[in-house]
Amino acid sequence: MKLRLSTDLEAPPDVVWDSVLRPSVMQHVARPLVRIEPARGGAFPETWAEHTPYDTRLFLFGWLPIGGQRIQVSLRSEGAARMLRDDGGGGLAKKWEHVIRIEPAPGGRTRYTDALDVGAGLLTPFVWAFTQLLFRYRQSRLRAHMRRQALKIPR
């Protein structure tokens, strides 16, 4: 089942791209709806490494275990657009093809798009609905994060 959500961010594409590459930002914008942590303890790297599988544990509202997920990142570009693709899966979602697309928008802003193709058998509609809620929430938190980052950018 497919899902596509976009938002415009008040930050230049390079700033947004740098944030997308950082697991700490992903963790921040998902909280407190979902807590994401490495499955084997420790910490994620400062930035995602391509083609390296990261096994995670997920907790709804920060405390209720909802399973695990494998994150496996690849990066690419198409013209001015840059993409982070996660071909992960696991737990409920056996198929998880998530692409984050970053592209310039008018006025020095950035268009951020989450595109997902998810498959979880009979639970697919429920996983899809929850993921839509999660992506909307993350995009809202990312907009706020980028506004705070914009205050730090020298003009």
% the chain with pLDDT above 90: 87
Residue-wise pLDDT for 108-148, tens only, equals: 999 999 999 999 999 999 999 999 999 999 999 999 999 88
Say how far residue 51 (Cα) sits from the centre of its chain.
Answer: 16
**Mean pLDDT to the nearest integer, 57-76:** 94
Task: Work out the mean pLDDT of the chain and round it to a whole number.
Answer: 94
In this structure, the number of other CB atoms found within 10 A of the CB of residue 146 comes to 23
Contact assessment for residue 116 and residue 97, using Cβ atoms and an 8 Å cutoff = yes
Is the pLDDT at 97 greater than 70, yes or no? yes
pLDDT at 60: 94
What pLDDT was estimated at residue 15? 94
Query: Does 3.30.530.20 match the CATH number of domain 2-150?
Result: yes
Q: Has residue 155 got a pLDDT over 60? A: no
3-state secondary structure 35-96: EEEECCCCCCCCCCCCCCEEEEEEEECCCEEEEEEEEEEEEEEECCEEEEEEEEEECCEEEE
Tokens 């990261």 appear where? Answer: 54
Separation between Cα atoms, residue 3 and residue 129, nearest integer Å? 9
| Model confidence band, residue 151 (pLDDT cutoffs 50, 70, 90) | confident
Instruction: Report the distance separating Cα 146 and Cα 155, nearest Å.
Output: 15
Residue spans per domain, the chain? 2-150
